[in-house]
C-alpha cells in the first residue's frame, strides 16, 4: 500500500538505469525550452532597446530605471537559459558532467522561468491583458520537463496559488474593486488541472519508456553474456574460446611454439548422471569447471558441451596440471568410476585455425577412451590416419557389400584322428579398391563400435549359404562351415531368424552351419543371449564357444551356456613347447570339454609338434596355418585337388 502510494507520487526507489533515463530525458527536453527562452529574451532586449531609442527626446528615463525594471530581468532569464542550454548540449554530445549540477541548473532555470512568468503576467493582468506568459512558463516547466508527480504538484500548486493570491489582491481591469472574477477563477483552476494532469501523463510515459528500455538493455546484456559464457558453469563457452584462440594464434609472440590445445573428456560421466540424476551431474560439471579454471589459471579455459572442456595453455608444465586435475576429479567420483581423459595438440607456427586444433586434440582424447588408467595422449599424424580409416570403413560398408568387396575366406578345421578336413571357418576379408586387402582386424571392431557389424555378418551368412548351394548343385563335396557372430548381432537384428531363413532360401541343411560366439561376448549376464543360444541349438545349428580361455570368466560361461564345441584360444599354443605350464593347462581343458560333452578344438596350430601333442592328449580337432591359412573357396578346392588337403570321408560321401 505504502509502496503503491509512493509509486503514484513518484518517490519510489528507482533503478540507476531509470534514474539515468529520467535525467537524460530532462536534459534533452531542456534544450528546446532553453533555446526558446534564449531567443525570446534576446528579442525582448532588442525590442526594449528599440522602444527606448524611439522615445521622443527628453522623455526617456535614466538607463538605471530601464535596467532595473527590464534589462536585469531579461539578462537573468537569458543567463539561466544559456547556462541550461550549454549544459544540456554538452550532455547530449556525450560529456556526462555531474548530474547533481545538471539537476541544480534545471531547478534554478525552472524557478527563474516561473518567477518571470509570475511577474510579467501580474503586470499584464494589472494592465488588463492576458496572463499568457505565466501560462506559457508553467507549460514549459512542468510539461516539457519531466518531474515526479509530487514535485510537479508542489511546483504547480504553489505557483498557481501565489499567482492567484497576487492578482486577487488587485482590482481586475474595468473594475475598481479588488478580487478576481468567477470566470478568471474557473479559467485558472481549469488551466491548473490540465497542466497538472499533463505533467502526470508525461511522467508516466517517461518512466514506462525507461522501464521498457531497461528490460531491453538487460536482455541485451544477458544475451551478450551468454554468447560468450557457458550458462551452466559460468566459464567461457566455445564461441568465446574460438574467437580468443584465433586472436592468440595470429599474434606473433616468442611463446608461439610453446602452446598446446587440451581437450578434456570425463569418461563415465553418463553413468554418473544416470546414477545420481541430472542435478548432481550438473553440480559435478560446475565443480570440474572450477577445478579446471583454477588448475589453468591465466589460460583460456572453456566448456564446449556436455563434459567436454577445452583449454589453451603453455605446453611447459601442462602435464603436471593435467595429472593433478585428474587426481582431483577422481576424488569426486562417488560410486561411479570417473576418469579424466585429455587429448593434446600442439599447433605448428603457421597454423591459425583453432577449430582444427580443437578437433585434433579431441581426436587424441577419443583415441584413449576406454584405455584404463591412460589419461593423456598427444596428437600425432597416425591418429589422424586411423581416424580417417575408421570413417572410411563406416561410410563404405554398404557400398562394399553391394559391390562385392567383402569376400569369404575359408580356413580348414581338421580332425585329430586323421588330419582330414571336417570343417571350415568362414573369415571375412575386405578387398578394397583403395586400400587393398583388409584383414578383419581393420574393420570388425570399427563396425562393432558403430553398430554396423550385423550387416557384415548377414552378408557372410548369405555368401556361405550361396557357396554351399553352388557346390551342392555341382555335386562338389562340402563340409560344415562355422560362422563368427558378434554379440551385437543378437541386439541389432534377429540374427537367429535370419540364419534360418537364409538356410531355407538356399536349402542348406542346418548341420552345415555352425555358429561361433566369442567368450568375451558372453561375460555380462544377459538372458537374451542364453535364449538365443538355446533357440539356435534347438533349430539344429551347432554353437561353438570361440576363444576359450582368452577372458576372465571362461568357467562361468561354461556353467551358464551349453555348447557343442569348445574352441581353445590360440594363446595356449603360442608358448608351446617352451612354456612348461601350457601342456598341463591344455590337458585339463581338453578333459573338461569331454566331461561337459563338448568337442575340443585348438586353434593356432602352426607346427607338427603342436599337432602331435594335441592328438596325444585327445583334442578332437585342430585349426591353424600348419594346415592352411584362410583362403578363397576356389583356392581351397585346388589344394584338395592337388592332394595337399583331403576332406573327411564322412563328407565326401554326403554329396
* Residues at the contact surface with ligand C2E, assessed by CB under 6 A: 411, 427-428, 439-441, 444, 453, 456-457, 460, 484, 486, 518, 546-547, 603-606, 623-625, 630
453 in Cβ contact with 396 (< 8 Å): no
Burial profile 51-76: b = 16 or more Cβ within 10 angstroms, e = fewer: ebeeeeeeeeeeeeebeeebbebbee
Query: Is the Cβ of residue 238 or residue 421 nearer to ligand C2E in the bound state?
Result: 421
Binding partner of residue 414 among ligand C2E, Ca ion, none, CB cut-off 5 to 8 Å per kind: none
Which contiguous run of DSSP H or E holds residue 197?
Answer: helix 182-226
Query: Is the Cβ of residue 367 or residue 411 nearer to ligand C2E in the bound state?
Result: 411
Query: Is the Cβ of residue 229 or residue 484 nearer to Ca ion in the bound state?
Result: 484
Binding partner of residue 323 among Ca ion, ligand C2E, none, CB cut-off 5 to 8 Å per kind: none
In angstroms, the CA 230 to CA 236 distance is: 5
What HEC string does 423-474 produce?
EEEEEEEEEECCCEEECHHHCHHHHHHCCCHHHHHHHHHHHHHHHHHHHHHC
Q: Minimal distance in Å, beta carbon 527 to ligand C2E?
A: 22
Q: Minimal distance in Å, beta carbon 572 to ligand C2E?
A: 12
Query: Is the Cβ of residue 266 or residue 593 nearer to ligand C2E in the bound state?
Result: 593
In angstroms, the CA 531 to CA 120 distance is: 108
Query: Is the Cβ of residue 264 or residue 443 nearer to ligand C2E in the bound state?
Result: 443
Q: Where do contacts with Ca ion occur on this chain (CB under 5 A)?
A: 484, 516, 546-547
Binding partner of residue 467 among ligand C2E, Ca ion, none, CB cut-off 5 to 8 Å per kind: none
Q: Minimal distance in Å, beta carbon 426 to Ca ion?
A: 9
Identify any residues that bridge with 308 across adjacent strands, giving them in sequence order. Answer: 265, 305
DSSP letter for 56, please.
P
Binding partner of residue 457 among ligand C2E, Ca ion, none, CB cut-off 5 to 8 Å per kind: ligand C2E
Binding partner of residue 624 among ligand C2E, Ca ion, none, CB cut-off 5 to 8 Å per kind: ligand C2E
Query: Is the Cβ of residue 38 or residue 453 nearer to ligand C2E in the bound state?
Result: 453
Q: Minimal distance in Å, beta carbon 431 to ligand C2E?
A: 14
Binding partner of residue 138 among ligand C2E, Ca ion, none, CB cut-off 5 to 8 Å per kind: none
Q: Angle CA(281)–CA(335)–CA(527) in degrees, nearest 5?
A: 100
> 308 phi and psi, to 5 degrees?
-110, 120
Give the Cβ contact number of residue 510 at 10 Å.
16
Cis ω for the linkage preceding 577 (within 30 of 0): yes
416 in Cβ contact with 621 (< 8 Å): yes
Query: Is the Cβ of residue 293 or residue 489 nearer to ligand C2E in the bound state?
Result: 489
Q: Minimal distance in Å, beta carbon 448 to ligand C2E?
A: 8
Query: Is the Cβ of residue 339 or residue 603 nearer to ligand C2E in the bound state?
Result: 603
In angstroms, the CA 1 to CA 5 distance is: 6
In angstroms, the CA 595 to CA 348 distance is: 64
Binding partner of residue 519 among Ca ion, ligand C2E, none, CB cut-off 5 to 8 Å per kind: none
Q: Minimal distance in Å, beta carbon 422 to Ca ion?
A: 16
Report helix, strand and coil shares of the chain as percent, to nearest 5.
Answer: 60, 15, 25
> 455 phi and psi, to 5 degrees?
-65, -45
Q: Minimal distance in Å, beta carbon 444 to Ca ion?
A: 11
Q: Minimal distance in Å, beta carbon 606 to ligand C2E?
A: 4
Q: Minimal distance in Å, beta carbon 548 to Ca ion?
A: 9
Query: Is the Cβ of residue 496 or residue 568 nearer to Ca ion in the bound state?
Result: 568
Query: Is the Cβ of residue 367 or residue 623 nearer to ligand C2E in the bound state?
Result: 623
In angstroms, the CA 158 to CA 144 distance is: 19
In angstroms, the CA 516 to CA 169 distance is: 120
Query: Is the Cβ of residue 308 or residue 431 nearer to ligand C2E in the bound state?
Result: 431
Binding partner of residue 502 among Ca ion, ligand C2E, none, CB cut-off 5 to 8 Å per kind: none
Binding partner of residue 486 among ligand C2E, Ca ion, none, CB cut-off 5 to 8 Å per kind: ligand C2E
Residue 198: all three cell numbers together:
499533463
Q: Minimal distance in Å, beta carbon 466 to ligand C2E?
A: 15
Q: Minimal distance in Å, beta carbon 224 to ligand C2E?
A: 53
What HEC string does 531-589 produce?
HHHHHHHHCCCEEEEEEECCCCCHHHHHHHCCCCEEEECCHHHHCCCCCCCHHHHHHHH
Query: Is the Cβ of residue 81 or residue 624 nearer to Ca ion in the bound state?
Result: 624
Binding partner of residue 81 among ligand C2E, Ca ion, none, CB cut-off 5 to 8 Å per kind: none
Binding partner of residue 460 among ligand C2E, Ca ion, none, CB cut-off 5 to 8 Å per kind: ligand C2E
Distances (CA, A) of 420 to 232, 541, 617, 643, 652: 68, 22, 18, 11, 11
Nearest of 375, 258, 244 to residue 302 by alpha carbon: 244
Q: Minimal distance in Å, beta carbon 569 to ligand C2E?
A: 8
In angstroms, the CA 571 to CA 312 distance is: 45
Binding partner of residue 343 among Ca ion, ligand C2E, none, CB cut-off 5 to 8 Å per kind: none
Work out the burial of residue 3: count CB atoms within 10 Å of its CB; fewer than 13 is exposed, 13-18 middle, 19 or more buried. exposed
Amino acid at each position: 500500500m505504502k509502496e503503491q502510494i509512493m509509486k503514484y507520487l513518484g518517490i519510489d526507489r528507482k533503478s540507476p538505469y531509470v534514474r539515468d533515463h529520467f535525467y537524460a530525458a530532462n536534459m534533452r527536453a531542456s534544450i528546446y525550452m532553453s533555446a526558446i527562452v534564449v531567443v525570446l529574451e534576446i528579442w525582448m532586449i532588442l525590442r526594449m532597446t528599440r522602444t527606448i531609442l524611439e522615445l521622443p527626446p527628453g522623455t526617456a528615463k535614466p538607463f538605471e530605471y530601464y535596467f532595473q525594471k527590464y534589462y536585469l530581468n531579461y539578462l537573468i532569464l537569458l543567463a539561466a537559459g544559456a547556462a541550461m542550454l550549454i549544459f544540456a548540449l554538452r550532455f547530449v554530445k556525450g560529456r556526462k558532467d555531474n548530474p547533481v549540477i545538471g539537476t541544480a541548473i534545471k531547478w534554478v532555470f525552472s524557478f527563474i522561468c516561473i518567477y518571470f512568468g509570475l511577474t510579467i503576467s501580474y503586470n499584464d493582468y494589472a494592465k488588463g491583458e492576458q496572463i499568457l506568459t505565466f501560462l506559457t512558463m508553467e507549460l514549459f516547466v512542468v510539461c516539457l520537463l519531466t518531474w515526479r508527480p509530487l514535485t510537479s504538484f508542489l511546483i504547480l500548486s504553489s505557483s498557481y496559488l501565489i499567482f492567484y493570491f497576487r492578482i486577487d489582491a488587485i482590482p481586475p481591469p474595468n473594475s475598481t474593486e479588488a478580487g478576481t472574477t468567477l470566470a478568471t477563477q474557473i479559467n485558472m483552476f481549469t488551466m491548473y488541472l490540465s497542466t497538472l494532469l499533463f505533467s502526470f501523463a508525461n511522467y508516466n510515459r517517461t518512466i514506462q519508456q525507461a522501464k521498457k528500455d531497461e528490460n531491453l538493455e538487460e536482455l541485451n546484456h544477458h544475451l551478450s553474456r551468454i554468447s560468450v559464457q557457458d550458462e551452466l558453469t559460468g566459464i567461457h563457452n566455445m564461441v568465446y574460446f574460438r574467437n580468443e584462440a584465433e586472436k592468440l594464434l595470429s599474434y606473433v609472440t616468442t611463446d608461439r611454439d610453446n602452446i598446446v590445445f587440451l581437450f578434456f573428456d570425463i569418461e563415465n560421466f553418463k553413468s554418473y548422471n544416470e546414477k545420481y540424476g541430472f542435478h548432481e551431474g550438473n553440480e559435478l560439471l560446475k565443480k570440474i569447471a572450477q577445478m579446471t579454471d583454477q588448475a589453468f589459471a591465466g589460460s583460456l579455459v572453456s566448456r564446449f558441451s556436455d563434459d567436454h572442456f577445452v583449454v589453451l595453455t603453455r605446453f611447459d608444465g601442462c602435464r603436471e596440471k593435467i595429472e593433478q586435475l585428474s587426481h582431483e576429479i577422481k576424488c569426486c567420483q562417488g560410486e561411479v568410476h570417473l576418469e579424466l581423459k585429455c587429448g593434446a595438440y600442439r599447433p605448428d607456427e603457421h597454423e591459425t585455425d583453432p577449430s582444427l586444433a580443437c578437433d585434433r586434440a579431441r581426436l587424441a582424447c577419443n583415441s584413449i577412451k576406454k584405455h584404463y588408467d591412460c589419461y593423456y595422449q598427444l596428437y600425432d599424424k597416425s591418429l589422424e590416419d586411423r581416424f580417417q580409416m575408421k570413417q572410411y570403413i563406416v561410410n563404405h560398408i554398404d557400398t562394399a557389400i553391394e559391390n562385392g568387396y567383402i569376400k569369404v575366406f575359408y580356413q580348414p578345421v581338421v580332425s585329430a584322428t586323421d588330419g582330414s578336413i571336417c570343417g571350415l571357418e568362414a573369415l571375412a576379408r575386405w578387398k578394397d579398391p583403395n586400400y587393398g586387402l583388409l584383414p578383419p582386424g581393420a574393420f570388425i571392431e570399427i563396425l562393432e563400435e558403430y553398430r554396423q557389424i550385423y550387416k557384415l555378418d548377414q552378408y557372410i551368412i548369405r555368401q556361405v549359404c550361396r557357396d554351399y548351394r553352388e557346390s551342392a548343385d555341382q555335386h562338389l563335396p562340402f563340409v560344415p562351415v562355422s560362422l563368427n557372430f558378434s554379440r551385437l548381432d543378437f541386439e541389432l537384428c534377429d540374427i537367429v531368424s535370419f540364419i534360418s531363413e537364409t538356410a531355407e532360401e538356399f536349402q542348406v541343411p542346418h548341420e552345415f552351419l555352425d555358429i561361433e560366439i566369442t567368450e568375451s561376448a558372453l561375460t555380462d549376464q544377459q538372458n537374451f543371449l542364453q535364449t538365443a543360444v538355446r533357440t539356435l541349438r534347438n533349430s539344429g545349428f551347432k554353437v561353438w564357444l570361440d576363444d576359450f580361455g582368452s577372458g576372465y570368466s571362461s568357467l562361468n560361461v561354461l556353467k551358464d551356456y551349453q555348447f557343442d564345441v569348445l574352441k581353445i584360444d590360440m594363446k595356449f599354443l603360442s608358448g608351446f613347447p617352451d612354456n612348461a605350464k601350457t601342456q598341463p593347462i591344455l590337458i585339463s581343458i581338453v578333459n573338461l570339454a569331454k566331461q561337459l560333452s563338448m568337442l575340443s578344438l585348438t586353434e593356432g596350430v602352426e607346427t607338427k609338434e603342436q599337432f602331435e601333442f594335441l592328438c596325444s592328449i585327445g583334442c578332437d580337432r585342430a585349426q591353424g596355418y600348419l594346415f592352411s591359412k584362410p583362403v578363397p573357396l576356389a583356392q581351397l578346392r585346388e589344394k584338395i585337388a592337388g592332394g595337399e588337403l583331403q576332406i573327411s570321408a564322412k563328407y565326401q560321401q554326403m554329396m
